Amino acid sequence: QLQLQESGPGLVKPSETLSLTCTVSGGSISSNSHFWGWIRQPPGQGLEWIANIYYGGTTYYNPSLKSRVTISVDTSKNQFSLKLSSVTAADTAVYYCARRIYSGHVDYWGQGTLVTVSS
Amino acid sequence: DIQMTQSPSSLSASVGDRVTITCRASQGISNYLAWFQQRPGKAPKSLIYGASSLQSGVPSKFSGSGSGTDFTLTISSLQPEDFTTYYCQQYYSYPITFGQGTRLEIK
């Protein structure tokens, strides 16, 4: 059974960089049938797609965040990562990592991790 | 960006009822539409993909329909665990976008 697990600091200071890692188990991140990505949800609000990456390195970013976001993949560790720079309180959210079928839908989600931006 | 609009934003129903939630896309997305269920404090769970295909393991009480710009999620024989929030999502083009959510409440 595929599992995705987010990890990273739960508290980040304003203007700093948020860094999260998603570890994939029960399957290979080097699949030619899937994208890997990040989705976030501010407290009490809806879902916002952030970015996707293919194991070969092809990336897609939400234009609203593109200038601050970097997604990367480490196939040797079966992990992919998110960096979001210059964070503000508006970036406080539960961050989910997820698997997306190539040209298809999201079928697996991590449990999510709350990141709070505060001094 | 493709805007996804769900209606209603909230809905009251009784156990045993059948309900329908609507999702409208701002432009045609063929059948590249998914539905998710999210319980409080939990990650979303995939219910429907391709507008009408049931995700493996999801009970047949959930059904989806539509194509182009108008889509529906129907839940039959509501049980207490079904009263939570539902989201639609288009994956026709980047950026992937979600509806604002529909909260299903017990009457």
Separation between Cα atoms, residue B71 and residue B6, nearest integer Å: 9
Q: Can you give the length of chain B in residues? A: 107
What was the pLDDT predicted at A56?
A: 87
Instruction: Provide the pLDDT confidence category of residue A45 given band limits of 50, 70 and 90.
Output: very high
What is the overall mean pLDDT for chain A? 96
Yes or no, beta carbons of B97 and A64 under 8 Å apart: no
The residue type of A112 is G
- For chain A positions 64-103, those within 8 Å of chain B (CB to CB) are 64, 96, 100, 103
Residue A67: partners with Cβ closer than 8 Å, 6 or more residues away: none
State CA A71 to chain mean position distance.
7
Per-residue pLDDT of chain B (107 residues; tens, 9 = 90+): 999 999 999 999 999 999 999 999 999 999 999 999 999 999 999 999 999 999 999 999 999 999 999 999 999 999 999 999 999 999 999 999 999 999 999 99
The residue type of A44 is G
Contacts A–B by Cβ distance under 8 A:
55
Nearest CB partner across the interface for B46, out of A52, A60, A107: A107
Residue B85: partners with Cβ closer than 8 Å, 6 or more residues away: B37, B38, B39, B101, B102, B103, B104
